[in-house]
Structure 1
Amino acid sequence: MRKLMLLCLLGLGLNANAQYQQDVVSGDAIIKALYDVISGPSSKTRDWDRFRFLFGKEARMMTAVPHKDSGTIIRTITPEQYIERNGKRLQEIGFIEKELHRITEAHGAVTHMFSTYQSDFTVNGNAQQSRGINSIQLFYDGSRYYIVSVFWDGDSKKTIDKKYLGN
């Protein structure tokens, strides 16, 4: 009986992940899924299990943020910390992020994507928009892609070079 219950639980876990398999079959698919899973109107609940499935075990997310005393600093978090810190807020502000342009470099199991994005959201009833660049590193293990890191600079005061906008 215990073995049967264990097999059933394992089967449920595999089925839950099976729905996300198409998200990790290519670099294009995983980037599309990354933007899709964090985006949506305030009425849309985000699928955080899908988000988790995109990342490798030791993945990190980093952001370059302005600092009043030292110019710019880096803040590093795990994908789980991202969910804890931003999950509720993304839904509250109706956050929608889309890719504007991408430059991709790959060698063997390593792929790097420089992905320019635009974010639309609402703060205190006012529509806001910002643009920035995600530096995304992927690992391909021979059967699927994993996000290893996402490092972004979302300082909307900075001008984005035309080559990163596809112009």
Structure 2
Amino acid sequence: MLYFIVLKMKKLPLLLFLVCIPFILQAQKKPEDKKASEKKEFKVDSTKVLTLDKTIKTLYNVISAEKEESRNWKQFKYLFHPDAKLIASGMNTDYEYKAKYLTPAEYIKNSQKWLKMNGFIEKEIHRSVNTFGNIAHVFSTYECYYSKDDKKPFMRGINSIQLFYDEDRWWIINIYWAQETEENAIPKAYLPRN
């Protein structure tokens, strides 16, 4: 197609032709090229793991987004040590307490569709931290909402987060969590003081 345009333009000055080339090429782009260019390109911010506080805040920020919004899964993976596990605990359909072990990649694969379809905002409402040398244990109480506009959380629970500092950055080693239930309410010690 470009060849025929060049033949028709023989009489136009060369300068005009050179000015038109970018517009001609842009017009020939496929629709999927335009869609790809509209996708948000996420990057990793290595400063988000320099302190314990930034690491925990980034964990909550990166998992939270409104319905149909994408998450920065690159940043999410960057928070975790290569051997890290995410461990969900709770009662199964047989009323037995179980734990499910996932790698960060498995967590993303299992949850990203639901998170994007429904919206998921996770907010930390209380934190208690214990450290010794290069290790830390954080009990982080959370509330979950479908949207930032929601007034009442649909779920609460506690994230037990183990971290390791390697003299350069903090790594999340494991996150082990449990949701609050009627039978297992969050103790006052792990809730904000009113």
Q: What is the TM-score when the length of structure 2 is the normalising length?
A: 0.71
Task: Tell me, yes or no, if the aligned pair for 1:109 and 1:141 is still in contact at 8 Å.
Answer: yes
Conservation of the 8 A alpha-carbon contact between 1:17 and 1:53: no
User: In 2, Cα distance between the equivalents of 1:109 and 1:65?
Assistant: 30
Report deviation, 1:80: 0.5
Provide the residue aligned with 1:132 in structure 2.
Answer: 157
1: CA distance, partners of 2:77 / 2:104: 7
Counterparts of residues 67-82 of structure 1 (less than 5 Å):
67-69=92-94, 71-82=96-107
Identity %: 36
The residue type paired with residue 61 of structure 1 is L
* Secondary structure of residue in 2 paired with 1:44: coil
Larger radius of gyration: 2
| Higher-strand-fraction structure | 1
**Distance in 2, Cα, partners of 1:91 & 1:23:** 23
Q: Distance in 1 between matches of 2:94 and 2:174?
A: 27
Structure 1 residue aligned with 2:70, among 27, 34, 45? 45
Structure possessing the higher relative contact order (Cα contacts under 8 Å, 6 or more residues apart): 1
* Aligned pairs (5 A) from 1:1-167: 19-69=44-94, 71-121=96-146, 129-157=154-182, 158-167=184-193
CA RMSD of aligned residues (A): 2.0
> Match for 1:134: what amino acid?
N
The residue type paired with residue 76 of structure 1 is: Y
State the one-letter code of the partner of 1:135.
S
The CA distance in 2 between the partners of 1:134 and 1:92, in whole Å, is 23
- Structure 1 residues 41 and 18: CA distance shift in structure 2, 3 A: closer
Structure 1 residue 17: deviation in Å? Answer: 10
The one-letter amino acid paired with 1:160 is I
TM-score by length of 1: 0.82
- Any stretches of 5+ residues in structure 2 without a counterpart? 1-40
Q: Hey, what's the Cα distance between the residues in 2 that align with 1:34 and 1:61? A: 12
Shift of 1:18: 8.1
